[in-house]
Amino acid sequence: MPSYVITGVSRGIGWEFLRQISANPNNQVIGLVRDKKATDKRVSEELAGRTNINILEADLSDYDAIKNSAAATSEITGGSLDYLIANAANMSKWDAYDPIGVLAENPKELEKQLINSTTVNIVGNINLFKLYIPLLLKGQAKKVIALTSGHADLDAINQVGIEPAALYSISKAGMNIAVGKFNVQYKKDGILFFSLSPGVVDVGSQADATPEQLQKLGAMAAGFMRAYPDWKGPAQPEDSVKDMLAVIEKASIEDGFGGAFLSHHGDKHWL
């Protein structure tokens, strides 16, 4: 029975990973969330009868909570884990619209926000990887997938001219490096680590944006369209997750995926 741990399954892309992977009753799916009660309720309402789902509580900024989740996972799976999907992320709206020079006009808030995003997206995921390695070593698939973003691609930033999301991008670039370092250390043990971007996916996060903020996003989208003329706008979570699961399935250390930074197409085509 292949086992999966997925972080951030309360909503968005994480929920869709949970929904699609648990549709196969042969998969054992463990979802990590910050509010177990709320996600248990959603699972019972929308995925009723799926006995292959377990929800555990762990905030990625809480080392002991991640450690406890690994122990609880071990109890559920009998000590092993096949796939770890590090999906959860701090995605503050604070840096989502303005360029870095504007953000830096408020240095105290900038420092606070950068610490928050690096605490969760870099330190949290490093702790997550490390604490689940003993289980992964006993698994069959031995795959760790970290959800990243094309925002962390330096060439894309400069060529497309992407101004917003500076702090988020910095945290994802740092996470990509951590993934590479884990790959270098653990590929000899057969554990595949790689970073995978979902593309631009509509998870409803712009629902409360002001007209001025929407205009700034429109300018960024216009840049995307110039760089990627075939792009049709944000994808639905269902399609993005299908694409990512295909990449996850085919990825292997032997085929050079160790430490890679890839899109849902399995290449550097981010949209």
User: Does 197 engage in binding with ligand NAP (CB under 6 A)?
Assistant: yes
User: Does 174 engage in binding with ligand NAP (CB under 6 A)?
Assistant: no
- Which of residues 12 and 164 has its CB atom nearest to ligand NAP in the complex? 12
Strands (E), 136-223: 143-147, 192-196
CA distance 16 to 6: 10
Interface with ligand NAP in residues 201-230 (CB under 6 A): 201, 203, 205
User: Does 164 engage in binding with ligand NAP (CB under 6 A)?
Assistant: no
Collapse the DSSP code of 34 into the 3-class scheme (helix H, G, I; strand E, B; otherwise coil) and give the result.
coil
Residue 79 CB, nearest distance to ligand NAP (Å)?
24
Buried b (16+ CB within 10 A) or exposed e, 132-153: bbebbeebebbbbbbbbbbbbb
User: Does 14 engage in binding with ligand NAP (CB under 6 A)?
Assistant: yes
- Which of residues 36 and 138 has its CB atom nearest to ligand NAP in the complex? 36
Q: Residue 254: phi, psi to the nearest 5?
A: -60, -35
- Which of residues 74 and 92 has its CB atom nearest to ligand NAP in the complex? 92
- Which of residues 141 and 244 has its CB atom nearest to ligand NAP in the complex? 244
* Count of chain residues binding ligand NAP (CB under 6 A): 26
Are the beta carbons of 7 and 14 closer than 8 angstroms? Answer: yes
CA distance 191 to 143: 6
Task: Supply angle C-alpha 246, 166, 234, rounded to 5.
Answer: 40
Residue 202 CB, nearest distance to ligand NAP (Å)?
7
Tokens of 236: 């639905």
User: Does 248 engage in binding with ligand NAP (CB under 6 A)?
Assistant: no
Pairing of strands 143-147, 261-262: unpaired
CA distance 197 to 266: 9
DSSP 8-state symbol, 1: -
Name residue, tokens 């648990």.
22
Residue 49 CB, nearest distance to ligand NAP (Å)?
23
Site string for ligand NAP, 117-156 (x = CB under 6 A): ---x--------------------------x-x-------
Interface with ligand NAP in residues 34-73 (CB under 6 A): 34-35, 59-61
- Which of residues 60 and 122 has its CB atom nearest to ligand NAP in the complex? 60
Q: Which residues in this chain contact ligand NAP in the complex, by CB under 6 A?
A: 7-8, 10-14, 34-35, 59-61, 87-91, 120, 147, 149, 197-198, 200-201, 203, 205
